[in-house]
Amino acid sequence: MRFTALAWLVAGALSVNASAAEPADMNNDPYLWLEDVEGEKALDWVRARNAVSEKQLAGDPGFEQVRQDLLDILDSDARIPYVSKRGEYYYNFWRDKLNPQGIWRRTTLAEYRKEDPKWEVLLDIDALGKAEGVNWVWGGSDCLRPDYDRCLVNLSRGGADATVTREFDVSEKAFVEGGFSRPEAKGSVGWIDADTVYVSTDFGDGSMTDSGYPRVVKEWKRGTLMSEASVVYEGEKTDIAVGAYHDDTPGWERDFVYRGLTFYTNELYLRKDGGELAKLDLPDGSQKGVFREWLTVELRQPWEIAGTTHPAGSLLAINFDEFMKGSRDFEVVFAPTQNSSLASSGATKDYYFINVLEDVKNRIYVLTPGKDGWKREPLVGAPEFGTVSIGAVDPDESNEYFMTVADYLTPTSLLMGEIGKQPEVLKQLPAYFDAEPYRIEQHFAASKDGTKVPYFMVSRKDITLDGDNPTLLYGYGGFEVSLTPNYSAGVGKNWLSQGGVYVVANIRGGGEYGPRWHQAALRENRNKAYEDFAAVARDLIDRKVTKPARLGIQGGSNGGLLTGNMMVMYPELFGAVVSQVPLLDMYRYDKLLAGASWVAEYGDPDVPSDWAFLRKYSPYQNVKKGVDYPPVLFTTSTRDDRVHPGHARKMTARMLEQGHDVTYYENIEGGHGGAANNAQSAYMGALAYTFLKQQLFGDK
């Protein structure tokens, strides 16, 4: 079993050339009342804005067709049912028209290979929600080996990050009466053995960090109250989170405790049989992984060890037991180059594999540990272009793997293979739109400081470069997240097929070139991400792909902050802005929900020297009356307990007060993804496409 100490938390994550006048009175925000998430006054305001937006967008003659197209795609039985192997069964969670909240089910490999497999339904979330009167949203499961008959199932109300955990009996297809049960909170429960679990959750006053995650992890015995569980480890309130895991790999069973110091730093401890903890002597800024006999270390900063300095972005490996005895004889598994970075890594029973991004194109390599080092060779059957991901089918039992392959125009395929042999295609998405008229190009734009910024452009092969093509530019630029070419039926059917050009910018702040690309736009250097995005926009205009009146931008979460800043700082470049579940008030972001966990990314507004640069990219403070901003659509969710809906609410209220063209829609449920089921996702997507078409198509 390989894990990264803070992977679950990240799964649970986001130019300063504008003249930023000092906000009048930061502590006298006239729209602070909109931060009251479920307050009646705030919700009345939300409903009133939603009504205006629905009339404008849902009332558009083309809206219903877009919504139905998106829903048909989301509900289609032709989608790939991705599976995970547990024992002899392959498990899947599935949503469709008949099961909008979804069903948890399983099948055999022989059945899965068929075009129309027979599934055994284990849990119907729609039926559960109806019976209990709660809009439950699936949050995943953890099943106990070797029989995998008992599982810890996570559910959330309306798609929030906070979940409940209940023990489930797979054979009986029912929750276990008197079994392990954790009340609603941010946290987790994980198996140690059939009668023991690790639990990290809200245990009461003082048990949560400033970021809203658990700071205490306990060992909980069956038949006892959760409050009686014994403390394994306590972190500090200023930490991000703490937790513990049992590595159940046969023959390599171990227990670990992790402590998240910041979003990018952590400590990992081996928990010994007596309960004492041994800290692994590794850089706090590294990601630590353990699989079988190996310890891996992925560096975010350079590290000098045994007389050798390894650059940030390197992946090192060493025998775990030898390391704990004092050895520091690391093997270099991957070393970054100017145009390559490590996207991911993993292991099968006898091999290790790495997924490398070379100029934002995936390359898969297989490594074989040996006495003379780790032999490296390309994975047999891996494609030359597109987004490729790979994961072991059962790393404890075989060298088989699943591989997904896609690009902007090629429907996603799921392949299964065994290392050293050609993989076979198991499943493939149908073509939801005719891709033949289109092509994918990669270009590089020169940013303000001369850095070459890659971007992908999807357009018709016979595009006329007259500067008049409606173009949608998408970006993120944060938290070391890479944007790689993926098939989007929604983009193809509702944008490309309508005559639009689609562009994805690989700006700094992302992970396309590893830690250096991310760290180049951290904190006081955030302007680099915005300068990069502006450079891509200007390059599209200079190449006469489009013009400002035809150029729209879109992004969510940290990408919502990106688009909010681009609107405020570069209003002359764009004709429409879509900002989804965004951060916008950077003066208060760390006081709202999970915001404190992102201080390492953005800075601390309570520190004057940090606020000096943060204020330059805080759209809520910098938007001004009398500036000709492009029309903007803000969307968010009441149930988003990661990025507070107050960001979008307050920004909308301020812009309306100043007389700007702003549209707002808030889904009353949906979590950070903005939607709790396919119908909501289709509706939210249709709002965005309709808004963009209204602003960018037609006479300009």
Sort strands 287-291 and 294-298 into parallel, antiparallel or unpaired. Answer: antiparallel
Give CA 481 to chain center in angstroms. 8
| Residue position matching structure tokens 């390309």 | 378
Cβ contacts of 434 within 8 Å, gap of 6 or more:
497
- From the list 14, 17, 42, 33, the residue with the least C-alpha distance to 586 is 14
Helix, strand counts (H, E) of the chain: 15, 39
DSSP 594: G
- As beta bridge partners, residue 636 has 666
- From the list 10, 515, 603, 521, the residue with the least C-alpha distance to 260 is 10
Q: Show the DSSP H helices in 113-218 as ranges.
A: 125-132
Give CA 4 to chain center in angstroms. 15
Cβ contacts of 133 within 8 Å, gap of 6 or more:
none
- From the list 357, 352, 392, 398, the residue with the least C-alpha distance to 375 is 352
DSSP 388: E
Q: CA 491, CA 468: separation in Å to the nearest integer?
A: 19
Out of 557, 579, 618, 637, which one is annotated catalytic? 557
Name the phi and psi angles at 39, rounded to 5.
-65, 145
Q: CA 557, CA 562: separation in Å to the nearest integer?
A: 9
DSSP 57: I
| Residue position matching structure tokens 């390492």 | 600
Cβ contacts of 657 within 8 Å, gap of 6 or more:
none
What type of residue is 642?
R
DSSP 208: B
Sign of the CA dihedral running 460, 463, 465, 466: negative
- Both structure tokens of 94: 């599935």
Decide: 463 and 543 in contact? Cβ < 8 Å: no
Residue count of the chain, please give it: 700
Q: Residue 130 to residues 1, 120, 160, 455: CA-CA distances in angstroms?
A: 37, 21, 18, 46
Q: CA 262, CA 526: separation in Å to the nearest integer?
A: 18
The set of long-range contacts for 370-376, using a CB threshold of 8 Å and a minimum separation of 24, is 373/331, 374/317, 374/331, 374/333
Out of 310, 518, 644, 672, which one is annotated catalytic? 672
Sign of the CA dihedral running 72, 77, 79, 85: positive
Cβ contacts of 503 within 8 Å, gap of 6 or more:
455, 456, 457, 458, 471, 472, 473, 474, 536, 540
Alpha carbons within 13 A on the beta-carbon side of 293 = 7
- Collapse the DSSP code of 175 into the 3-class scheme (helix H, G, I; strand E, B; otherwise coil) and give the result: strand
Cβ contacts of 326 within 8 Å, gap of 6 or more:
none
Give CA 451 to chain center in angstroms. 26
DSSP 350: S
Decide: 579 and 634 in contact? Cβ < 8 Å: yes
Known catalytic membership, residue 672: yes
Sign of the CA dihedral running 294, 300, 303, 309: positive
- Residues with a known catalytic role: 557, 672
